[in-house]
């Protein structure tokens, strides 16, 4: 398991519906954002790479995915600074792998599809 519910549970103060709501929103939004990010990387669109990585970052942070958050921050910064696309392209596969793994784990752990 590469995610943690500690931050969400702290915010929820025992409200299981809140926890499920946050997980559902993650499962609805992040896959689409990840797919869009991949397309923008292929299109070499620095501005959209920056915006999408910026949008993904707090979602993975909320799930305690520190390494994934750091990776998203790197991609966000590189997009903002118009970095060499090779650098962005080299970081993206790990971000995608981690997020897809967490999506699967959340779907299984919370019996959501």
At 51, which CATH number?
A: 1.20.120
**From CA 52, how far away is CA 35, in angstroms rounded?**
10
Helix (H, G, I), strand (E, B) or coil at 65: coil
| pLDDT in 10s for each residue of the chain, 113 residues | 789 999 999 999 999 999 999 999 999 999 999 999 999 999 999 999 999 999 999 999 999 999 999 999 999 999 999 999 999 999 999 999 999 999 999 999 998 76
Give me the domain span that covers residue 75. 6-107
Q: Would you state the structure tokens that stand for residue 81, as one six-digit string?
A: 């600074």
**From CA 72, how far away is CA 38, in angstroms rounded?**
12
Number of domains, the chain: 1
pTM equals 0.93
């Amino acid at each position: 398991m590469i995610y943690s519910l500690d931050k969400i549970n702290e915010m929820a103060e025992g409200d299981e519906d809140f926890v499920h709501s946050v997980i559902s929103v993650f499962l609805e939004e992040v896959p689409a954002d990840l797919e869009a990010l991949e397309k923008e990387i292929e299109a070499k669109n620095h501005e959209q790479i920056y915006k999408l990585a910026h949008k993904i970052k707090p979602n993975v942070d909320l799930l305690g995915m520190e390494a994934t958050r750091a990776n998203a921050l790197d991609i966000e910064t590189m997009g903002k600074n118009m970095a060499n696309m090779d650098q962005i392209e080299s970081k993206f596969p790990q971000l995608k792998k981690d997020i897809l793994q967490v999506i699967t784990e959340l779907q299984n752990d919370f019996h959501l599809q």
